[in-house]
Amino acid sequence: MAYDSPEQLLVKAQSLAGFTLGELAQQYEALVPKNLLREKGWVGQFLEYLLGAESASLAQPDFPSIGVEMKTLPIDATGKPLESTYVSVVPLINLHQVQWQGSVVQQKLAHVLWIPIIAEKHIPIKERTLAMPFLWQPTTSEIQTLRSDFEETIETISMGRVDTIDARFGEILQVRPKAANNKALTECMGPDGELIMTLPRGFYIRPQFTKRILKQHFN
């Protein structure tokens, strides 16, 4: 499926609003897991399937032809985000060629289709309801903050100080582990330019920021 414009994708996404995951799964003959313990990404992958995303696990927006990234967003009944939003892995090597402009983070966050889902933990997966999807683009000021969060992270890692980065880093974009487990290590540069092994990290959007995005759109 190819979309001519972000708006066309939006219309398709909005046609799903109000349905539960169970109803949508039945329509498409998909199986809904009882819980997300072993399939944490199921909801996002199902929605990508419904909307015809093409990027699979490539490091680029889900809909490259129209430059849109799709994100499901678990919210409670009052509209508060329940989780942070994963954006991309944090590059740890060959950082000399990493620039904000053109980075995976910049490309993905340039245009996002948010799909909020009422997903309080007490609600069975099948009963979780899609709220109204919407398109979002960061303001100039938001882009500046995203960019400085990104650049400060890259600069710290370039200095060989990845070990000083934890989840307190970053105003909007935080850095947290993104790995199979805490034994899965990857290469990085140490303080003296030597190769060290460290936990893979990911960029995540803080829930306080997605909360602001939702507020702007629904107030």
Partner DNA sequence: AAATGATCATAA
Partner DNA sequence: TTATGATCATTT
84 or 140: CB nearest DNA: 84
- Residue 140 or 182 having the CB closest to DNA: 182
- Other beta carbons less than 10 A from residue 195's beta carbon: 9
Q: How far is the CB of 209 from DNA (least distance, A)?
A: 10
Q: Classify 181 as helix, strand or coil.
A: coil
Encoding tokens for residue 186?
């990857």
Residues forming contacts to DNA in the complex (CB under 7 A) are 35-41, 43-45, 47-48, 55-59, 62, 69-72, 74, 80, 82-86, 88-89, 91, 104, 119, 121, 166-168, 174, 176-184, 186-187, 199-200, 202, 204, 206-208
- In the complex, the smallest distance separating the C-beta of residue 25 from DNA, rounded to whole angstroms, is 16
Instruction: Burial-class residue 177 by CB neighbours within 10 Å (0-12, 13-18, 19+).
Output: middle
CB of 2 to DNA, least distance (A): 17
Nearest to DNA of 20, 85 (CB atom) = 85
Least distance (Å) between residue 101 CB and DNA: 17
Task: Give me the least distance between CB of 201 and DNA, in Å please.
Answer: 9
Nearer to DNA, 124 or 140 (CB): 124
Tell me the CA distances in angstroms from 54 to 29, 43, 102, 194, 202, one per residue in order: 20, 16, 20, 38, 22
CA distance 203 to 112: 15
The DSSP result for 97-117, as a single string, is G--STT-HHHHHHTSEEEEEE
Nearer to DNA, 147 or 206 (CB): 206
Q: How far is the CB of 100 from DNA (least distance, A)?
A: 15
Of the candidates 10, 186, 219, which has an alpha carbon nearest to the alpha carbon of residue 90? 186
* For DNA, the closer CB: 2 or 140: 2
Torsion over CA: 177, 181, 182, 183 (sign): negative
